[in-house]
């Protein structure tokens, strides 16, 4: 006897779509919305942001994490802009030559705007020195004094050589200049005596000549030894003269500059060092104006080098210029490479070699954001080599030091620049996906110390009056920012997840002055149309009978399950056929998808739960003696998730009970061991997918979808689905348990066990239990020794024996 199920009621139309009533919105169009600020349902994130930004201490940096599209970037940027505008403008930073150690340029901190002033003032000074110093050195006074020094040196030489020549002449010896030096030789008259004549000289005279030669030669050597010292003294005299002249030429210029910057001790110190350097190296300025006779090309080259020398030596490298800032800087580094963060030392190729100087040092985002805020995309940061390490190093040390990666990694050992590190006072805001936050937290022990503030943007929000009003504010803000038409209340009500821009386009096509609900709907529909070709093809396969899906009739061990495909940001649902076969066995439910490695772990978990459900409900006092197989028919790709587990269980129960399942239904929902149906994702897409198939084939009576009752709150079905349900062409059933579902699918009561644990006869559960008990009995019979088998089981005995042998 089969006991018919009581008729279950489908969901009412108002449960299928949570409508937003335009009348409930406190405005007619977004033009009336005055406050265009607002963050959608992120109270927790806002609180964390306020906390993080409010603590101006090192390491209280923020990691803003949440799903894409939750407004992380725009919101945090807006908050930072507002906050930074009220904060003081940070200092300028300059790099200047370290005249004592040129490899370590000096960093100078100045109030905002003063860096630019210093740079320009020093540039003007150098321009003035370029003319003042050469003029001083071209003056008659200087030339005369220099010539006097040179002349003194020459006279000194002339005197000693003349004296030597004089003494030599008195001894009939002359001084000769040879190509390699000087020689003394005995002479007769004006000519050097020839060897024969010398040999004929009396021995005493010859000996005397030789002795005189030796003596004079010794004196000559002494004179020549003294020459370098005298030359050194000459050079030193000239150098001192040059210093004196330069000091006079530059003194008043530098005094004026020092007076201008007397409030800044670092600048005063720098100018004092610059003055000393100019005095010691005046030749750099003189080289510009001096022509090297007859070598014009070299003159041009030399002048170029002299200019470069000046630029390199006395330029003020304005690393950070906040002259035009009106508050603390908010910097978003779009490409957070190591060099873009900490700065770089650039090089130029010259004569085949790469050279650099402090004027080629460029600041990074850390420099620009110092005193303010730096926003970085966490994913980009982590994918740039050594960028994260560089950022951490700066945050830990509290200083930003410009070094090339080669230096940091000790890959190059060539001499390079080591500019003075600059103290860091900024707040870093990393923005990224939650998994990055949790991964960094787990894998990097320093991360938690450096990013103490977690700003968690939730993926959804409660829908209430307040959030609706905020949403309207956001739409109004977007419309203003993107220069769109105002949205009327109907449009705002209709806007859920589609862009305001697309709606604006469709509004342009119409003549309305505002964006209406119809415009929004058109935007939604056309967007779907643009991307749903895959859905169309998939559904076409079903409607043309290539993919086998029944939408009417009844079948034992066969059910329509629902699945969702997501591709390129577009999701759609559709039915898949699941079939089940059962036979006597050892309590195994075989997931064929898993056997062929097409099923994922979640799917397998769902299938394993079925065994547990069957054992718990039907085979508490005996072994579960079935062997069942489940398969997604015509599925050739991988599947995962447990949303089909309830469908698989219904299918299995049908196969066990022999009760056919109505094919006008499709089912979704996962199930637990107790037979409770649990919520799943993509409920709207799944329902709409089956609806589209039914609609394409023409509705037949009773068609509908079984969903978990806990998914009712997620229902936001298309208007045509709601309309069909209203008209009775389609129905959505919400079920809480497998018993409820199986009654709808089979039209037979599921049956509740009495006090003794016995299900009412003819119910689904009773049929299933009976079948399982029979299987267990059969299996027990097959397991007995051969002599105890009755005749009717002879054949089976032979089969089981084979099977037993096989098992052995």
Give how many residues touch another protein by CB under 8 A: 41
- Smallest distance from another protein to CB 241, Å: 17
| E-assigned strand segments in 636-776 | 661-662, 665-667, 670-671, 677-678, 704-708, 731-735
Q: Is 611 a known active-site residue?
A: no
| Spacing of C-alpha 254 from chain mean position | 48
Per CB under 8 A, which of residues 215..234 are in contact with another protein?
Answer: 217, 220-222, 224-225
Per CB under 8 A, which of residues 66..105 are in contact with another protein?
Answer: none
Nearer to another protein, 3 or 182 (CB): 182
The closest of 531, 417, 431, 549 to 104, measured between CA atoms, is 417
Per CB under 8 A, which of residues 286..305 are in contact with another protein?
Answer: 291, 293-294
| Spacing of C-alpha 659 from chain mean position | 57
Tokens of 452: 């103490």
List the one residue from 182, 408, 531, 602 that touches another protein (CB under 8 A): 182
Nearer to another protein, 291 or 761 (CB): 291
List the one residue from 17, 51, 60, 161 that touches another protein (CB under 8 A): 161
Q: Is 355 in the site for another protein (CB under 8 A)?
A: no
Nearer to another protein, 105 or 134 (CB): 134
Measured CA to CA in angstroms, residue 551 lies from 178, 505, 539, 559, 668 at distances of 121, 39, 13, 10, 15
Binding region for another protein (CB under 8 A) out of 175-183, 451-459, 573-581, 733-741: 175-183
Binding region for another protein (CB under 8 A) out of 153-161, 239-247, 408-416, 477-485: 153-161
Angle between helices 114-138 and 265-280 (to 10 degrees): 20
Nearer to another protein, 101 or 222 (CB): 222
Q: What share of the chain is helix, strand, coil (3-state, %, to 5)?
A: 50, 15, 30
Which residues are CB-neighbours of 53 under 8 A, at least 6 positions away?
62, 79, 80, 83, 427
- Smallest distance from another protein to CB 134, Å: 14
Which residues are CB-neighbours of 61 under 8 A, at least 6 positions away?
52, 395, 427, 428, 429, 430, 450, 451, 452, 453
Nearer to another protein, 16 or 209 (CB): 209
**Residue 587 exposure: Cα atoms within 13 Å on the Cβ side:** 15
Binding region for another protein (CB under 8 A) out of 181-189, 405-413, 647-655, 694-702: 181-189
Per CB under 8 A, which of residues 599..658 are in contact with another protein?
Answer: none
List the one residue from 2, 123, 201, 213 that touches another protein (CB under 8 A): 213
Angle between helices 114-138 and 296-314 (to 10 degrees): 140
Nearer to another protein, 44 or 154 (CB): 154
Q: Is 807 in the site for another protein (CB under 8 A)?
A: no
- Smallest distance from another protein to CB 140, Å: 7
Cα–Cα distance measured from residue 483 to residue 779, given in angstroms and rounded to the nearest whole number: 76
- Smallest distance from another protein to CB 309, Å: 24
List the one residue from 16, 79, 193, 517 that touches another protein (CB under 8 A): 193
- Smallest distance from another protein to CB 201, Å: 11
Q: Is 202 in the site for another protein (CB under 8 A)?
A: no
- Smallest distance from another protein to CB 277, Å: 28
| Spacing of C-alpha 653 from chain mean position | 51
The closest of 548, 764, 779, 804 to 658, measured between CA atoms, is 764
Nearer to another protein, 290 or 543 (CB): 290
Q: Is 428 in the site for another protein (CB under 8 A)?
A: no
Kind and range of the H or E run holding 251: helix 203-260
- Smallest distance from another protein to CB 213, Å: 5
Count of C-beta atoms within a 10 Å radius of residue 3: 16
Residue carrying structure tokens 């100018």? 271
Q: Is 179 in the site for another protein (CB under 8 A)?
A: yes
Binding region for another protein (CB under 8 A) out of 31-39, 212-220, 245-253, 501-509: 212-220
Q: Is 17 in the site for another protein (CB under 8 A)?
A: no
| Spacing of C-alpha 515 from chain mean position | 36
**Collapsed DSSP state (helix, strand, coil) of residue 803:** helix
Cα–Cα distance measured from residue 620 to residue 583, given in angstroms and rounded to the nearest whole number: 19
List the one residue from 7, 69, 86, 195 that touches another protein (CB under 8 A): 195
Contact 657/3 with Cβ under 8 angstroms? no
List the one residue from 110, 116, 209, 589 that touches another protein (CB under 8 A): 209
The closest of 560, 733, 775, 768 to 654, measured between CA atoms, is 768
Q: Is 715 in the site for another protein (CB under 8 A)?
A: no
Binding region for another protein (CB under 8 A) out of 19-27, 81-89, 150-158, 354-362: 150-158
List the one residue from 21, 210, 231, 633 that touches another protein (CB under 8 A): 210
Tokens of 499: 């862009």
> Given 611, 643, 645, 750, which residue is catalytic?
643
- Smallest distance from another protein to CB 346, Å: 39
Cα–Cα distance measured from residue 713 to residue 326, given in angstroms and rounded to the nearest whole number: 49
List the one residue from 32, 101, 127, 191 that touches another protein (CB under 8 A): 191
Binding region for another protein (CB under 8 A) out of 8-16, 208-216, 390-398, 458-466: 208-216
Phi, psi (deg, nearest 5) at residue 319: -75, -40
Q: Is 276 in the site for another protein (CB under 8 A)?
A: no
- Smallest distance from another protein to CB 419, Å: 43
Phi, psi (deg, nearest 5) at residue 754: -80, -170
Per CB under 8 A, which of residues 120..139 are in contact with another protein?
Answer: none
Q: Is 149 in the site for another protein (CB under 8 A)?
A: no
Q: Is 158 in the site for another protein (CB under 8 A)?
A: yes
List the one residue from 36, 157, 172, 468 that touches another protein (CB under 8 A): 157
Nearer to another protein, 242 or 643 (CB): 242
Q: What is the CA radius of gyration of the chain?
A: 48
Q: Is 35 in the site for another protein (CB under 8 A)?
A: no
> Given 427, 547, 686, 695, which residue is catalytic?
686
Q: Is 547 a known active-site residue?
A: no
Nearer to another protein, 211 or 256 (CB): 211
Q: Is 180 in the site for another protein (CB under 8 A)?
A: yes
Count of C-beta atoms within a 10 Å radius of residue 620: 9
Phi, psi (deg, nearest 5) at residue 790: -80, 170
Look up residue 399 and give its DSSP letter: E
Cα–Cα distance measured from residue 75 to residue 33, given in angstroms and rounded to the nearest whole number: 19
Cα–Cα distance measured from residue 359 to residue 95, given in angstroms and rounded to the nearest whole number: 8
- Smallest distance from another protein to CB 270, Å: 38
List the one residue from 52, 71, 186, 682 that touches another protein (CB under 8 A): 186
List the one residue from 7, 23, 57, 140 that touches another protein (CB under 8 A): 140
Cα–Cα distance measured from residue 578 to residue 649, given in angstroms and rounded to the nearest whole number: 10
Binding region for another protein (CB under 8 A) out of 33-41, 188-196, 717-725, 764-772: 188-196
The closest of 79, 67, 77, 39 to 456, measured between CA atoms, is 67
List the one residue from 124, 154, 501, 586 that touches another protein (CB under 8 A): 154
Which residues are CB-neighbours of 447 under 8 A, at least 6 positions away?
440, 441
List the one residue from 190, 497, 597, 795 that touches another protein (CB under 8 A): 190
Contact 570/689 with Cβ under 8 angstroms? no
**Which residues in this chain contact another protein in the complex, by CB under 8 A?**
140, 147, 154, 157-158, 161-162, 165, 174-187, 190-195, 198, 209-210, 213, 217, 220-222, 224-225, 291, 293-294
Q: Which residues are catalytic?
A: 643, 686
């Amino acid at each position: 006897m089969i006991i018919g199920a009581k008729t279950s009621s489908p969901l009412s139309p108002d449960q299928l779509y949570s409508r937003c009533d335009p009348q409930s919105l406190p405005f007619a169009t977004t033009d009336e919305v005055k406050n265009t600020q607002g963050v959608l349902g992120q109270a927790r994130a806002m609180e964390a942001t306020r906390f993080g930004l409010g603590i101006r201490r090192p390491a209280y940096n923020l990691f803003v994490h949440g799903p894409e599209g939750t407004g992380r970037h725009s919101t945090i940027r807006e908050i930072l802009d507002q906050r930074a505008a009220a904060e003081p403008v940070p200092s300028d930073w300059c790099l200047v030559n370290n005249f004592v150690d040129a490899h370590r340029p000096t960093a100078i901190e100045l109030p905002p705007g003063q860096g630019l002033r210093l740079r320009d003032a020093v540039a003007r000074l150098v321009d003035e020195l370029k003319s003042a110093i050469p003029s001083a050195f071209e003056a008659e006074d200087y030339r005369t004094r220099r010539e006097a020094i040179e002349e003194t040196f020459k006279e000194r030489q002339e005197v000693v050589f003349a004296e030597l020549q004089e003494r030599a002449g008195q001894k009939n010896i002359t001084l000769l200049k040879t190509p390699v030096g000087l020689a003394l030789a005995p002479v007769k008259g004006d000519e050097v005596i020839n060897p024969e004549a010398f040999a004929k000289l009396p021995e005493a005279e010859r000996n005397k000549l030789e002795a005189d030669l030796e003596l004079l030669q010794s004196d000559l050597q002494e004179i020549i030894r003294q020459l370098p010292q005298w030359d050194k003294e000459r050079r030193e005299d000239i150098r001192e003269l040059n210093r004196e002249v330069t000091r006079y030429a530059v003194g008043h210029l530098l005094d004026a500059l020092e007076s201008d910057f007397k409030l800044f001790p670092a600048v005063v110190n720098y100018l004092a060092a610059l003055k000393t350097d100019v005095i010691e190296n005046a030749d750099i300025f003189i080289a510009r104006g001096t022509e090297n006779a007859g070598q014009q090309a070299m003159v041009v080259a030399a002048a170029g080098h002299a200019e470069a020398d000046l630029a390199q030596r006395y330029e003020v490298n304005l690393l950070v210029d906040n002259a035009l800032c009106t508050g603390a800087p908010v910097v978003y580094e779009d490409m957070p490479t190591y060099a873009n963060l900490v700065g770089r030392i650039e090089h130029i190729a010259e004569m085949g070699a790469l050279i650099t100087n402090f004027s080629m040092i460029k600041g990074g985002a850390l420099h620009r954001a110092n005193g303010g805020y730096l926003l970085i995309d966490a994913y980009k940061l982590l994918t740039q080599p050594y960028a994260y390490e560089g950022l951490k190093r700066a945050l830990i040390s509290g200083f930003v030091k410009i070094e090339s990666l080669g230096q940091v990694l000790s890959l190059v050992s060539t001499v390079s620049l080591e500019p003075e590190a600059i103290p860091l006072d900024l707040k870093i805001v990393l923005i990224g996906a939650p998994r990055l936050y949790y991964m960094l937290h787990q894998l990097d022990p320093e991360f938690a110390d450096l990013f103490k503030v977690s700003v968690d943007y939730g993926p959804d929000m409660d829908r209430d009056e307040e959030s609706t009003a905020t949403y309207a504010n956001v739409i109004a803000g977007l419309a203003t920012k993107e220069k769109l038409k105002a949205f009327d209340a109907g449009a705002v009500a209709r806007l859920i997840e589609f862009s305001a821009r697309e709606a604006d386009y469709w509004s342009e096509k119409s003549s309305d002055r505002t964006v209406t609900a119809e415009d929004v709907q058109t935007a939604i529909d056309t967007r779907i149309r643009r991307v749903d070709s895959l859905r169309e093809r998939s559904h076409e396969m079903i409607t043309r009978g290539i993919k086998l899906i029944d939408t009417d009739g009844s079948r034992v061990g066969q059910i329509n399950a629902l699945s969702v495909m997501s591709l390129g940001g577009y999701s759609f649902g559709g039915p898949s056929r699941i079939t089940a076969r059962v036979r006597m066995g050892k309590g195994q439910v075989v997931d064929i998808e898993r056997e062929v490695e097409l099923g994922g772990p979640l799917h397998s978990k769902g299938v394993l739960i079925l065994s547990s459900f069957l054992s718990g409900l039907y085979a508490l006092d005996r072994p579960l003696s079935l062997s069942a197989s489940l398969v997604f028919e015509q599925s050739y790709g991988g599947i995962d998730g447990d949303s089909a587990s309830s469908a698989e269980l219904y299918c299995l129960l049908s196969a066990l009970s022999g009760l056919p399942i109505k094919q006008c239904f499709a089912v979704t929902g996962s199930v637990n061991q107790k037979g409770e149906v649990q919520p799943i994702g993509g409920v709207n897409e799944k329902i709409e997918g089956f609806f589209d198939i039914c609609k394409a084939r023409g509705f037949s009576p009773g068609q509908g979808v079984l969903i978990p009752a806990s998914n009712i709150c997620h229902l936001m079905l298309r208007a045509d689905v709601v309309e069909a349900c209203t008209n009775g062409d389609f129905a959505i059933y919400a079920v809480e348990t497998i018993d409820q579902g199986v009654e709808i699918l089979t039209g037979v009561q599921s049956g509740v066990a009495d006090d003794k644990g016995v299900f009412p006869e003819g119910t689904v559960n009773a049929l299933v239990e009976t079948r399982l008990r029979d299987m267990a009995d059969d299996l027990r019979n097959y397991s007995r020794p051969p002599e105890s088998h009755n005749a009717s089981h002879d054949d089976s005995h032979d089969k089981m024996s084979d099977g037993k042998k096989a098992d052995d």
